[in-house]
């Protein structure tokens, strides 16, 4: 076991250590004045069942941070194991919504059809958290379908392998 202090000298080691925790892969979508926006995110978690709250964490280094951190409504799409192509579309420099058929929620938020699960949310609160913001959303609606999630760990894409 290697032990270190997570400071600027050990930034890569800290990031690698965080990568040992497998996470699901999501796309967060919002409506904006310039059209639909989306971003691939793995910093997503449940917060509360009553009331139904979730959290995701956009990086302040993103040129679109202010759009996502202040969006009054947003949708979190949990990707299925065969949807890495969607994750790639919504990374920096990806095609985003170009040529991608999508629906709109009653609140006007773009919805990507065919994802494993979708949480339609209203912004509850935003907290400062170092180089990220913690965006907490109140879940208004959930749409889900059976299947396996796309996961990422240690920089590798994968899927669950049930026992």
Q: Which residues of 26-64 are buried (b: 16+ CB within 10 A; e: fewer)?
A: bbbbbbeeeebbbbbbbbbeeeeeeebbbbbbbbeeeeb
Paired strand residues for 129: 132
Tens of pLDDT, residues 85-114: 999 999 988 899 999 999 999 999 999 999
pLDDT at 94: 87
* pTM of the model as a whole: 0.93
**Of 114, 115, 118, 113, residue with least CA distance to 137:** 118
- Give the residue-averaged pLDDT of 115-125: 98
Tens of pLDDT, residues 42-94: 999 999 999 999 999 999 999 999 999 999 999 999 999 999 999 999 998 88
Cβ–Cβ contacts within 10 Å for residue 143, how many?
15
Tens of pLDDT, residues 139-156: 999 999 999 999 999 889
């Amino acid at each position: 076991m290697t032990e270190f202090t997570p400071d600027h000298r050990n930034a890569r080691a800290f990031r690698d250590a965080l990568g040992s925790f497998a996470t699901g892969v999501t796309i967060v979508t919002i409506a904006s004045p310039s059209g639909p926006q989306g971003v691939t995110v793995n910093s997503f978690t449940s917060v509360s069942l009553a009331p139904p709250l979730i959290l995701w964490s956009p990086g302040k280094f993103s040129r679109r941070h202010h759009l996502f951190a202040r969006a009054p409504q947003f949708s979190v799409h949990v990707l299925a194991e065969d949807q890495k192509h969607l994750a790639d579309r919504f990374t920096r420099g990806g095609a985003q919504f170009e040529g991608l058929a999508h629906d709109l929620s009653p609140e006007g938020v773009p919805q990507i059809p065919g994802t494993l699960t979708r949480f339609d949310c209203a912004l509850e609160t935003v907290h400062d958290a170092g180089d990220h913001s913690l965006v907490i959303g109140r879940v208004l609606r959930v749409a889900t379908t059976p299947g396996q999630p796309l996961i990422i760990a240690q920089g590798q894409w994968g899927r669950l392998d049930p026992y």
